[in-house]
Structure 1
Amino acid sequence: MITWRGVLSRFLGDPVAIGAGVVLLVLVLMAVFAPLLAPQNPYDLMQIDIMDSEMPPAWRAGGDERFLLGTDTQGRGVLSTIMYGTGISLLIGAGAVVVQAVLGITLGLIAGYRGGWVDAFLMRLADIQMSLSTLMIAIIVLAIFSAGFDANTYADYAIFMLILIIGVAEWPKFARTVRSSVLGEKNKEYVDAARVIGLPPRRIMWGHILPNTLTPVLVISTIQVAEAIMTEAALSFLGLGMPVDRPSLGSLIRSGFEFIFSGSWWITFYPAMVLIALVLALNLLGDWMRDVLNPKLRRGED
């Protein structure tokens, strides 16, 4: 049986997990408290001066102590844009995973518990969905969306569109995981007992079977947040994600990419390093959780 004390003990005994956890915690706190910690609000035009554009980091010749990591082409401090951009990337990643989980858990529960043609239909639907690239679907939908609306409308709804598109495109991963767990749980004695006393299928699925399938869901959620952040970064780099004036890490990388070989390397370099650290930390924690919560691995250690 998994206990929080046992999980904490294994976490404190794993230097890689501790390192990943610390990095993730620092980045999350940096994003949450960006309005208080950031030297500049990159959304406030009154704080931006175009004359400050493309300043190098403060320790290099021509740098300014106001801008520790330099400035971008609009005169915004790179450190400030990273703080705010990390928050947007995390929001999109977490929001997309919530959409994936709601759809995937619901359909996976129904498929696994009902079986028969319902299971076959939902799993074939999942197969079709998984055969299509998430990036391809997102590019098509966002291209249509950006073409059908003006720039201001696109900017206002871009974050919601990204969450919705990435979430809908990735639901089969949750559905297949939950379905597999349900197939192993639905014939156990506690489920038979619930049926005997007359509980409705909906209550059995959500109140009895679902709690026993949440361990793999928790593991896949961590990894899916990282994948969603990477997908958003790729879309923003292609010009179909967050607009430049409301930066995510991906749009920050894109905004400075054309200047990377002209000397202003810091505009792209630092957001890219933060993105790599964020995704790596999430993946390492996901791998650690999978190893800790996997019953087979625990038996092997015992």
Structure 2
Amino acid sequence: MSTPSSSPAATPAGGRWQRLRDSYLWYSFKRDRGAQLCLATLLALVGMALLAPWLAPTDPYDLAQIDILASELPPFWIDGSDPAYTLGTDAQGRDLWSIILYGTRVSLLIGFGAVLLQALLGVVFGLLAGYLGGRVDALLMRLADIQLSFSTLMVAIVVGAVVKATLGGGFYSDYAILMLILIIGLAEWPQYARTVRASVLAEKRKEYVDAAKVMGLKSRRIMFRHVLPNTLSPIFVISTVQIANAIISEAALSFLGLGMPETHPSLGSLIKAGFDYLQSGAWWITLIPGAFLVVLVLSINLLGDWLRDVMNPRLYKG
């Protein structure tokens, strides 16, 4: 008796979709309302950030659209608000809803870019340390241990301060997104390296690695073509959590004056810019972007926790 997945009418793409539908990952996702809500929230925020030029009523980067006389207007549910500004305005007269949309895009860009750099460095170093062993392993892991002995934020602050002092504040502001990606990425690569190394140590003792060596394959090919694909599951799980951590790190650096400039704000720099106006009563400048940041980070973290539970067979309880 033939099964649906082995039907000759099934195309390769259809076969992949059938395997996805039959997988435990998809089965668990359909049964978990929390994961569905987190994914929907995350996709909505990402979609709004990507469509910011079309969804935002004004362009916060266009000085001609900024009205300084409309500064510190409250949101629509508070007396004294202006219908043209749904969530109010900031201290410079910019529409807060528009800035949040553009700022979310900047925060996501920094988060994903930093994690991409972390993963690239961590995976390469972890593969080399786990597969080659010996002095290479000792050197790379000692570097990771030294960096992990300091807090991530401390490393990011030191690197950011050195870069800003060396290259100048103007250069740092002009290339703030690139600088933050480099700073946060360099501060977090040991998380990937240690995880990948542990997986590689388990994989390189398996028979398929011995068979590849007998066939005369080079170590580089064995590492990247055979061992690496079998270590991707923990990498995906770490990446979800690290994206949230990178966004929080950017917000913390912005609050300390090492983040995005006010002319091209992120969610973190918006919170920092509005912090000085809390006592004057303009609480929305800080709290509304802060609420967006909390929802964004919380949805990513909860989705990462669900993914970790599903992809870790030791946590499966049936």
Amino acid at match of 2:199: S
Contact 1:58 1:66 in 2 (8 A): no
Q: Provide the alpha-carbon RMSD of the alignment.
A: 1.5
Provide the TM-score with structure 1 as the length reference: 0.96
Deviations 1:19-64 (A, max 9, x none): 1111111110010000110111111111111011000112321111
Amino acid at match of 1:268: T
In structure 2, C-alpha distance between the alignment counterparts of 1:206 and 1:27, rounded to whole Å:
34
2:4 paired residue number: none
Which runs of no fewer than 5 residues in structure 2 stay unpaired? 1-18
Amino acid at match of 2:296: L
Task: Please give the secondary structure, in 1, of the residue aligned with 2:175.
Answer: helix
2:24 paired residue number: 6
1:275 paired residue number: 293
Provide the TM-score with structure 2 as the length reference: 0.91
**Correspondence for 1:255 among 273, 280, 292:** 273
Bigger drift between 139-148 and 185-194 goes to 139-148
2:181 paired residue number: 163
In structure 1, C-alpha distance between the alignment counterparts of 2:169 and 2:259, rounded to whole Å:
12
1:199 paired residue number: 217
Deviations 1:269-292 (A, max 9, x none): 110000000110111011000000
Amino acid at match of 2:35: A
In structure 2, C-alpha distance between the alignment counterparts of 1:148 and 1:202, rounded to whole Å:
37
Deviation at residue 151 of structure 1 after TM alignment: 4.5
In structure 1, C-alpha distance between the alignment counterparts of 2:93 and 2:158, rounded to whole Å:
33
Deviation at residue 194 of structure 1 after TM alignment: 0.7
Are 1:109 and 2:109 matched, yes or no?
Answer: no
2:82 paired residue number: 64
Superposed, 1:65-144 pairs within 5 Å as 65-144=83-162
In structure 1, C-alpha distance between the alignment counterparts of 2:261 and 2:188, rounded to whole Å:
23
In structure 2, C-alpha distance between the alignment counterparts of 1:129 and 1:174, rounded to whole Å:
13
Alpha carbons of 1:4 and 1:158: their partners in 2 closer, same or farther (altered >3 Å)? farther
2:42 paired residue number: 24
Deviations 1:50-96 (A, max 9, x none): 01100011232111111100000000111111100000001001000
Are 1:43 and 2:87 matched, yes or no?
Answer: no
- Computing the radius of gyration from Cα coordinates, the structure with the larger value is 2
2:5 paired residue number: none
Deviation at residue 206 of structure 1 after TM alignment: 0.2
Deviation at residue 150 of structure 1 after TM alignment: 5.0
Amino acid at match of 2:74: P
Amino acid at match of 1:244: E
Which runs of no fewer than 5 residues in structure 1 stay unpaired? none
Amino acid at match of 1:178: V
Contact 1:137 1:169 in 2 (8 A): yes
Provide the aligned length of Structure 1 versus Structure 2: 300
